[in-house]
Chains A and B, each alone.
Chain A
Amino acid sequence: MTNPISSDKIESEDIDPQFTERIVEAGADRIRTCIQCGTCSSVCPSGRRTAFRTRELMRKAVLGLKDEVLASPDLWLCATCYTCLERCPREIKVTDAIIIMRNMAVDEGFMLPQHRKASQKLISTGHAVPIDDANRKVRKDLGLDELPPTTHSKKKALRDVQKIMKKTGFKKLIEGQAEEGA
């Protein structure tokens, strides 16, 4: 049996060279300059308490280990605080790279049910956190309009934003999968 990791070249069927290229094109253009110093992991508040390892993620991204990266639930443990990006000695847009990879993960069907639920609320109300009855009462008691001047009280505005989400394919992305029971 041959060792897939030779001293000359890493060869693995899991490597997708296009993966790195897409991350570069989407804006994290300096990712190939990563020197694996580990600053990103060492300053990451999420990595202190979870299995999320930014440095490992950056390495896998540069190697092109697409499936491994996109299927990992850890990808969703970044709080996007930007501390890694601020301190990266190579000025790599680490957080942006993570967001790009999340976009690709969603595109491949990896989506947490609770995130899809928030998306459904955006589609149906125009708000990820819509108003509720208790809050309407508090607003009234405070002398504020019971419904703010947003899509909650402007029906045409809601229809407009729903049209946009249909046009971009977002509605299908969220509801298409719901229909399949994914």
Chain B
Amino acid sequence: MVKNPKFYHFLGCVIPHRYPSIEKATNLVFEDLGMELLDLEGATCCPAPGVFGSFDRVTWATVAARNLTLAEAGGHPITTGCNGCFASLWDSNHELKHDEELRQAVNDNLAVIDREFKGTIEVTHYVDALYNYAGIEKIKKRITHSFEGVRMAIHPGCHWMRPKLIKKKDDSERPHIFRELCEASGAEYVPYKDELICCGAGGAVRTADVKVALDFTLQKFESIMDAGGADIIVTPCPFCELQLDLGQVEIQKYFEKEFHFDIMHVTELLALAFGHEPEEFGLTTHLQYMQRKNQPNWEKLGIEVQKPDDAITSK
């Protein structure tokens, strides 16, 4: 086990530009666990695998490879909290290490900016960093606010663990790593039939047809309700988070069905479990609350908020 590991923090687009609360929560949680996050200066979009991987594989791999070379220059692994960014960066890193023809094409393109993919670093997801570097025991010891009694559904999403034969870290048909990480918070795991189906946003589907994408999400929500309902849904991906969070507002508009789940990225859940106040990282800035002009269900979360009017949204 590496002592005080350092990671280049790959932000991507949705975390810094739509859910910055995840960025802040991640900074808090990693610091609490003695893991250093370094800026990956000059990074771009991963670029999104759904649209750009589908449009032109070589461009996708080249832009991803440029991001990888930024980390190679400093010699530390990358960590990202987005399943989409992970898919682009991990997959391109893997493909470039194993596909000589692609590597040649990508390096020919990178030559115009005097860069070269060398294949010297690894790409991790926050989940991997937390599970493999910090470890569940260390995380459990850090918990000061247990979520005992809170009903928690989890949405692992797709790209951090699939395809299992290539990613080789969890059995994507019976995954346990993400669940263990979430259960460290003390929350009560609620199994539901459609836990493993996609949120609907990926593969450029949300951009192509938002109603189709939301229909996936609706199926997931109804499956959770069939399992007795849940107070929170935890995910390791900001794009899934957007789909589950803002998606509730959109589902109400398109399907006239109302849901009120509090959605959290796993680092937001852990930030709260480590005793940070919600306003420290801006939990109430989630798009669902901003658009509905409401607040998380503090009572169910077991969090005392004295003056909700002081929350960051109303400043």
Q: Tell me if chain B binds chain A.
A: yes
Asked if A130 contacts B13 (CB within 8 A), the reply is yes
Nearest chain A residue, comparing its CB with the CB of B55: A106
> Nearest A residue to B108 by beta-carbon distance?
A167
Contact in complex: A150, B43 (CB < 8 Å)? yes
Q: Are A164's CB and B51's CB within 8 A?
A: no
Mark out the residues of chain A between 94 and 144 whose CB falls within 8 Å of any chain B CB in the assembled complex. Answer: 95, 99-100, 102-103, 106, 111-112, 114-115, 118-119, 122, 126-132, 135, 138-139, 141-144
A77 contacts B by Cβ under 8 Å: yes
Q: Which residue of A lies closest to B158 (CB)?
A: A81
Are B20 and A144 closer than 8 Å at their CB atoms?
yes
**Contact between B205 and A119 (Cβ–Cβ < 8 Å)?**
no
Known contacts A46-B205, A82-B158, A141-B282; decide if A161 and B16 are in contact (CB<8 Å): no
Count residues on chain B whose CB falls below 8 Å from chain A CBs: 67
* Contact in complex: A148, B11 (CB < 8 Å): yes
Q: Are A122 and B47 also in contact (CB < 8 A) when A127-B13, A168-B62 are?
A: yes
| Interface locus among A30-38, A54-62, A64-72, A152-160 | A152-160
A163 to B23, CA, bound (A): 29
Given contacts A79-B201, A79-B216, A128-B45, contact A122 B52 (CB under 8 A): yes
Indicate whether B112 reaches chain A with its CB closer than 8 angstroms.
yes
Q: How large is the interface on A (under 10, 10 to 19, 20 to 34, 35 or more residues)?
A: 35 or more
**Are A127 and B202 closer than 8 Å at their CB atoms?**
no
Q: Known A79-B200, A128-B47, A157-B41; judge A142-B20 contact (CB<8 A).
A: yes
Question: Quick one: which of B3-57 are within 8 Å of A by CB?
Answer: 11, 13-14, 16-18, 20-21, 23-24, 39-45, 47-57
Q: Which residues of B contact A149 (CB under 8 A)?
A: 39-43
Provide the bound-state CA to CA distance between A118 and B62, in Å.
18
Interface: A39 (CB within 8 A): no
Asked if A165 CB lies within 8 Å of chain B CBs, one says yes
Q: Is B173 an interface residue (CB 8 A)?
A: yes
Q: Is B303 an interface residue when CB atoms closer than 8 A count as contact?
A: no
Q: Is B100 interfacial (CB 8 A cutoff)?
A: no
- Given A138-B285, A142-B21, 15 further pairs, Cβ under 8 A: A45-B197, A76-B54, A80-B202, A86-B164, A112-B208, A115-B51, A130-B13, A135-B20, A139-B16, A142-B24, A148-B11, A151-B44, A154-B42, A157-B43, A168-B56
Q: List 18 A-B contacts (CB under 8 A).
A: A45-B198, A76-B54, A77-B205, A79-B203, A80-B49, A81-B197, A86-B162, A100-B57, A114-B207, A115-B55, A115-B208, A126-B44, A138-B282, A144-B24, A154-B41, A160-B66, A168-B58, A169-B56
